[in-house]
Structures are given as structure tokens and as C-alpha cells.
Homo-oligomer: A and B are copies of this chain.
Amino acid sequence: MRFGIPFLTTISISPTPSKTLSPFLRCRLLSALSAAASPSLMAASEDSLRQALAEKQTAIDARAEAVRAIKARPGASKEEIDAAVEALKALKVEHGAAARRLQAAVSSNGDGSSKEAFRQAVVNTLERRLFYIPSFKIYRGVAGLYDYGPPGCAVKSNVLAFWRHHFVLEENMLEVDCPCVTPEIVLKASGHVDKFTDLMVKDEKTGTCYRADHLLKDYCKGKLEKDLTLSSEKAAEFKHVIAVLDDLSAEELGAKLKEYDIRAPDTGNPLSDPYPFNLMFQTSIGPSGLLPGYMRPETAQGIFVNFKDLYYYNGNKLPFAAAQIGQAFRNEISPRQGLLRVREFTLAEIEHFVDPEDKSHPKFVDVANLEFLMFPREDQLSGQPAKTMILGEAVSKGTINNETLGYFMGRVYLFLTHLGIDKDRLRFRQHLPNEMAHYAADCWDAEIECSYGWIECVGIADRSAYDLRAHSYKSGVLLVAHEKFTEPREVEKLVITPSKKELGLAFKGSQKMVVEALEAMGEKEALEMKKALEDKGEVEFQVCPLGKLVVLKKNMVSISVEKKKEHQRVFTPSVIEPSFGIGRIIYCLFEHSFYTRPSKSEEEQLNVFRFPPLVAPIKCTVFPLIKTQLFDEVAKLIAKSLTAAGISHIIDITGTSIGKRYARTDEIGVPFAITVDSTTSVTIRERDSKEQIRVSIDEVASVVKEVTDGQSTWADVLWRYPTHAAPHADE
């Protein structure tokens, strides 16, 4: 078992520090895992190609030796020599072909270069049209920090508005808004202060820092992709290293770096041993310097610490969900992959609190019939690909742990596809046992495929009672729920009675924490302790707030099972946490929405973002067909009515050709263009189909509102209004 911390979800650590913790898992891009999805097939063909290449090499070596021997032999005929050389040449040609076949097979993906080219086209458009801007560009920027420029910012605020509607409003969630600056004690309780680290190495001469796992992975991938003389055994070894990369301890990583003699990529200097670097931005609260703080690495903790108040606000009833949208911060060692791995980002998180004994969901029926790509852990382990499953069946078969988790998976699927994410490039991947924290009941990531591979964009985890318990421990404030019984129930109840006197003598100032830890024991743990005390007279006991094991003697605590009448049940709720990386979703959306089409003259390719109206940064443009005062005035009148209707728009009276104006706005994904070609009616053009309808000036704002608000589709209005048969001249 291991205790990984997925990228988007609340930190997942072991509450028992005695266990060895692996470095946490974060976004797995074309990761070992997915590369290993069908290892047998891949490996087999690659292996035989390597072997074929090695055989050709051997044959060449032998033939070359033969040629040399012939040449050295006195009296060898020219014909004999020529024939031997020709045979050698033919072998070399065959070797070249074999090398190319192997090269193609080992390249990280067959269409790698076309993916790169596609990404470059998208990113060029995004940067040129200011969807985003490297932050502080005039000062040469800072790695991992990006601004959203005007269209990017509008897309983001549309995505967030829809998120609020789809989750907060529809599910009556309690939205909160907590500060980013967080005192250390909170992140100590959550485990981030101690465990939220990546392993780092330093160039021993220049001090430049690198992520240790990145260097090792790059080395192995480089070898696999570029060294065609690699033996099958060596290739298998490198693949294994990549597969287990996330599980390696600092020592193991260090040993591998040494073994492969991996050096600083920029200088070739030797590297330090790997050591953990905490990824939180540290600061100090107040002027005294005595209150350390951090910029929160996630928004979830703000909800957990407010559980008591929120439970009260909800009328002391379960289940309920709290939600938060806000900035989070991770001081990455060396950010890569553009907008996907950044140092500051927007998270939208939901913490749905449920009774651990009842994880059903009343609205599950609404999503039970959805079908989408799932990738259960069994299929990952057996090398099967992701497959389409019906959500209701996945829950009833137990593939998905419970209804509430399943319900959120369904809601997340609807959210993402509604935004414009391609459903065929969206899958829900279940965490493998070694990725999941030991307390987690189940965990699925919504992964979206883009040019970087499958990207974790939403994590949906059933985290059981871990977080609330951790804060109860640390703060001393009980974060629990109550179920009042209509009639008192007779229950077998575990009674834990710490002897304060004996504990006080043994532990002095720490007595209180030991008492609390004893009282907070679960039934299983307590019964094991009871047995151990009876059998051996003493037992080791982990007291989390003390951070160590203490030895308890028999006289320090009495544990018994008694029958009692109870009027209520007191328990720590479980939490189901869907956590959305908004920036990642938006980046994937950019890729899924981007396409090119030839200009009318077919001389160039024009860029288009096919954003749905919901997401489009600007809903509509207004163009006078030709530059006249009359048309300009009509255009301004229409712009005014669009503003009144709350529709974002651009009015362009520059007099550039209409085709160019269309192309310019297609490139930022404006779905509708109004062209003023008369004083009574105008045309509305739809971006992707380029179809046009004719609408009277009085109606145009309300028609655009209808199709951008989602009340109607373009198809709906297309038959209600006359189509404009002759598209404007230069379209």
C-alpha cells in the first residue's frame, strides 16, 4: 500500500508517520501507467525489432571482417572483393531500415511530431490573441505564472459561472470564500507542512535545482527513444524505472541517478543527493515574524475547518455539500508543460459530507443511464483499454464504490461535455491501490486527452473521515455529526476509560493528548488494544498530535463493551471531494475546440475555436457591411440593445473586408456575427456552419440572447427565420 497525493485532491497522507511515505503522485502525463496499459503488445514488437537490429549488426560485423580478410589475402580477385563489399552495403541498407522501424516504434508516440505541430498551432493562436500572456513578460516573465488576457479571462469567468450554476445552484451547495494566506497549524494538521514535497537535486557547482524524478525519467526516455543499440534487458529495465518512478524513495532515486551517472542537464556538473522540497509558498503573518504561514496549496482545508458552522447552517443535517472557488499555489521546482503545470491556479472544490453508513444519493437516478469511458483499476492492471460503461451498472456492480461518488462522476461528465470537451477524449480513470491513500474508499480522475497525453483535470475522491478527524485532533474541536434516534436504541458500546491519574504520572504535560487520542479510537483499534493489554500487559500506541508512539500499561486505560441505551449516534462524516483544476480544463477545452479551415481563396488556413456559446469569450460581433454613417448608426443601436440584454459583443466599424472581420473573430471563437446590410434587417452568421439567417433589427438582440443563453439552438432558429442565401461577398 502507498499513500499518494494526487494533483488536484486534498493531500492524502498516512496519519501514522511511522510508515514510509512515497513521494506523491501528481498529474501523470503519458505516464508510465498509461504507457504500460498494453505492455505485452508494445513490448513484444519493440523487442523483436531490437533483436532484428542487433542481428543485422552482428551480420554486418561478420561481413566487414570477411571483407577485410578477403582484401588482406594476397591474390584476391577484384570481382571477389567487389562482391563482398556489395553484400556488406546491402546489409547496411537492411540495417538502416531495421533501425528506422525500431526508431518509429520507440518514439514516445507514433504521431508525436504531428501532436507537437497541432499544439504549436493552438498555442500560437492563444498567445497571439491574448487568451493568455506569460506573466510579467516585460521583465522576462517567471516560469509557471501566466495571465489570462481578455478572451481567456472571459472564457474562465464563463466556465466558473457555469460551474456555479451546474453545481452550487443545482445542488444547493453552501459556497464559501476563505483566504489564501493560511497559518501553519492548519496545514500541519492536514499534513502539507510535513509531506507536501517533491524530491529535488541541486547542481553541486551552480546550485540550479531540478526535480529528481524528471531527470531520471528524461534519461530513461531518452535512452529508450534514441539508443537503438539498447539490449532488450536494458530497455526493460528503463521501462520498469519509469513505471515505478513515483514509488521511489529519496534513497532509491539517488541510487539510480548515481548508477546512471546522471548529471545536471545545463552544465554536466555532478548533482546533490535528492532531498524533499516543500511545494508551498511560505510567508509570515503579521509583523512579529512569529506566525509562519503559507499560501494555501488547495482550497479544501478552508471548508474542513468550517465544518461545524456549516453543519449548523444546514440545520444539523447530512448530507450537504460545501463548495469553494479560489486561487491555490504550488511552488513547483521546475514548471513545464505551459498552462498545465503552473505555480498559481484556480481550483473549484466541493466537499460533500455524508453519513458513512449511507452513501446513497437521491438524484442518482438522474445520471444512472449515462454512458461514458471508464478505466477501472482491474482493466489498467490487466492491460485492457478504457471502455464505455453505463454509470448505473458500474455502481451496482461495485466498480464504483457508492452512489454519491457515482453521482458526482455523472455530474462531472455532464459539466465537461457541456463546456465542449470531446466525450471521446474524456475518461474516468480509477486510482490504483498504490495511488490511493489508505483511508480513501475510492478515487476516480476525470482525465482529458490533449497533445500532452491524458491529463488529470478533475479528481473525485471518497476520502472517508480523514480530514475532519485530522482537524478534530489538532484543534481539539470535535467535527462530528449527530443522528437523533426517534426511539432510544440499545447498543453494544465500547467504553474507553483512560485513567487520568496513571496517564498523568506517565506522560505529564502530554496527558491530555493521550487521553484524547484514546477516546478517539475506532472500535477495531480499541478491541485490538484491549486484547494486547490483556495478553501482554502493555501496548504501543500512536498519538498523532505528539507525533510519536507511546507505551501504555494495563492500568492506564480500561476498555470494555457495555450495553447502553442511546438517544443518538455521533460520528465523523465521510467526505466525497470533486476537485476541479479550472486552468487545465480550460487548456484542454482550447485544444478540443481548435480547428483550421481554408480561406475562400484557399491560400491560407484560418483558425477557428468552436466554443459553445456558453463558453465563448464574446458572444457576438456587429459589422456594418460597408462603411456608411447609416449602417454605423444601425450597428451602434444594435450594440446598445445587446448590452441591455447582457450580451458581450464587439462592434467593428473599421471597414476591413467582411471576410477578414469574420476570420478575426472566428479565431477567438465568437459564435455569431451580425452583419448590417440594410436599415431594417440584418444577417446573423453562425461561426462553424457559416450559415446565415435574416432577422429584423428589433428582434436581433433577443434572437442572439436565445441562442447564447441556451434556450434555443442554432438549428431551432434556422428554420424560424429566412436563410440568407448569398453569403456576403468575400466570405
A positions within 8 Å CB-CB of B? 130, 133, 135-139, 142-143, 145-150, 152-154, 156-157, 161, 164-165, 169-170, 172, 174-183, 185-186, 200, 207-209, 277, 281-288, 291, 293, 295, 302, 305-306, 308-310, 313, 315, 327, 329, 331-334, 343-344, 471, 474-475, 477, 479, 643, 646, 648, 650, 654
Q: Given the complex, which residues of B lie within 8 Å of A181, measured CB to CB? A: 142, 145, 281, 295, 329, 343-344
Known: A138-B308, A145-B179, A309-B133. A164 touches B169 (CB 8 A): no
A311 to B360, CA, bound (A): 54
Q: Given the complex, which residues of B lie within 8 Å of A333, measured CB to CB? A: 286-287
A186 to B140, CA, bound (A): 11
A172 to chain B, nearest CB (A): 8
The contact sample of 28 A-B pairs, CB cut-off 8 A, is: A130-B313, A133-B309, A136-B305, A138-B471, A138-B479, A139-B185, A142-B181, A142-B291, A149-B306, A149-B310, A150-B175, A150-B176, A152-B177, A153-B176, A157-B175, A169-B643, A169-B646, A170-B643, A172-B650, A181-B281, A181-B295, A181-B343, A209-B286, A281-B285, A282-B284, A284-B331, A287-B333, A295-B295
Q: Given the complex, which residues of B lie within 8 Å of A474, measured CB to CB? A: 139
Q: Given the complex, which residues of B lie within 8 Å of A180, measured CB to CB? A: 180, 295, 327, 329, 344
A48 to B169, CA, bound (A): 63
Q: Is the CB of A154 within 8 A of B175?
A: yes
Q: Given the complex, which residues of B lie within 8 Å of A654, measured CB to CB? A: 315
Q: Given the complex, which residues of B lie within 8 Å of A147, measured CB to CB? A: 176-179, 302, 306
A352 to chain B, nearest CB (A): 15
Q: Given the complex, which residues of B lie within 8 Å of A176, measured CB to CB? A: 133, 147-150, 153
A300 to chain B, nearest CB (A): 13
A263 to B717, CA, bound (A): 76
Chain B: which residue is nearest A279 at the CB level? Answer: B287
Q: Is the CB of A182 within 8 A of B136?
A: yes
Nearest 5 Cβ contacts at the A-B interface: A148-B177, A138-B475, A138-B477, A209-B287, A150-B174
Q: Is the CB of A142 within 8 A of B183?
A: yes
Q: Is the CB of B305 within 8 A of A139?
A: yes
A649 to chain B, nearest CB (A): 8
Known: A152-B177, A306-B133. A331 touches B286 (CB 8 A): yes
Q: Is the CB of B283 within 8 A of A287?
A: no
Known: A309-B133, A309-B149. A139 touches B186 (CB 8 A): yes
Q: Is the CB of A164 within 8 A of B157?
A: yes
Q: Given the complex, which residues of B lie within 8 Å of A479, measured CB to CB? A: 138
Q: Is the CB of B177 within 8 A of A156?
A: yes
A528 to B313, CA, bound (A): 69
A527 to chain B, nearest CB (A): 30
A188 to chain B, nearest CB (A): 10
A156 to B285, CA, bound (A): 25
Q: Given the complex, which residues of B lie within 8 Å of A157, measured CB to CB? A: 164, 175
Q: Given the complex, which residues of B lie within 8 Å of A148, measured CB to CB? A: 176-178
A581 to chain B, nearest CB (A): 15
Q: Given the complex, which residues of B lie within 8 Å of A295, measured CB to CB? A: 180-181, 283, 295
